[in-house]
Amino acid sequence: MISKVEILFLKKDIFRVSLPIFWVLSLLSGFSIIYSREYLSGPFRVDNIYAMFSTISSFMLMYLAVSLFGKEFQYKTINMIRISNRSPLEIILRKLMVMIVVGLLTSLLAFFEVLAEQLYFGHTDVSLTSLLGKLTLSYFVYCLFLFSIGSIIVFFLKNTLFSFIFILLFLRIGVTFMNILSNFPIMRPLVQYIPLSFAENSFSFASYTGKQTLLLVLWSLIFLSFTPRIYKKRGYE
C-alpha cells in the first residue's frame, strides 16, 4: 500500500512521464523558430523563440495545474490524503511547490534554448541576464495563477480531463471576452485589472509589467485563500 508520506512527496509529482515529453515538444517548437531565423531567413526575433516554446509549455502547465489534485481523484488517493494528519493548507502548499518547481525548470529550458542559439550563431541581440529574469518571473506568476484557479476547478469537477478542457477554454475564450468588453468605454478601465485580459499574451512573450505581475499575484492569493475551505468540502471521492 502506498504510504501517506509517499503520496505527498515532492518527487512523486515532479518526476512523471508526461513532463519530459512536453519539455521536448516545447524545445522542438522553439527550435522551429531558430531554424527559420538562421536557415530560411525568417522574419523572427529572439522573443519569438520563447514565445513559440510557450505554446506547448502553457498546455503542459495548464494540465499540471489540474492534474496535481486531479490524479488523486483518479486513483482514489484523495481520501488517504485527507486522513494523513496534514492540514489542508499544508497539502495545498505542497502541491503548489510542485507547480512552481516545474514552472521554474521549464523557464530555465526556455532560457537555455535561447542561450544555445545566441552562443552557437554568435548573436548578441539580447541581454541574457535580463531575459533569465523575465522568463523566471513570468513562469512563476503564471504557474501561481494557473494553480490557484486549476485547483478550484478540479475540486468541483473531480476529473482531470474535464478540468483541463475547462481551464483551457476559460483562458482562451476569456481573452476574447475581455477584448469585447474593452470596446465599451465604461468597461475599458476595469478590463486591465482582470488577469484574463493579459495573462496569456504577456506570458508568451515574458513581458509582464510590474502592474500586471502585482495584479496576477493578488488575484492568485485571493483564489488560494478560498482553496483550503473548498478542499475541506470537496476534497473527497
- Among candidates 195, 235, 207, which has minimal Cα distance to 89? 235
- Rounded CA separation 103/100 (Å): 5
- Among candidates 102, 142, 95, 76, which has minimal Cα distance to 16? 102
How many folded domains does the chain comprise? 1
Computed on alpha carbons and rounded to an integer, the radius of gyration of the chain in Å comes to 19
Instruction: Encode pLDDT of 69-114 as tens digits.
Output: 998 888 888 888 877 778 889 899 999 999 999 999 999 999 999 9
- Among candidates 55, 61, 63, 54, which has minimal Cα distance to 110? 54
Q: Which residues constitute the domain of residue 211?
A: 4-234
Instruction: Encode pLDDT of 209-225 as tens digits.
Output: 999 999 999 999 999 99
Specify the residue for cell string 473548498: 230
**Looking at the chain, how many residues does it have?**
237
Whole-structure pTM value:
0.90
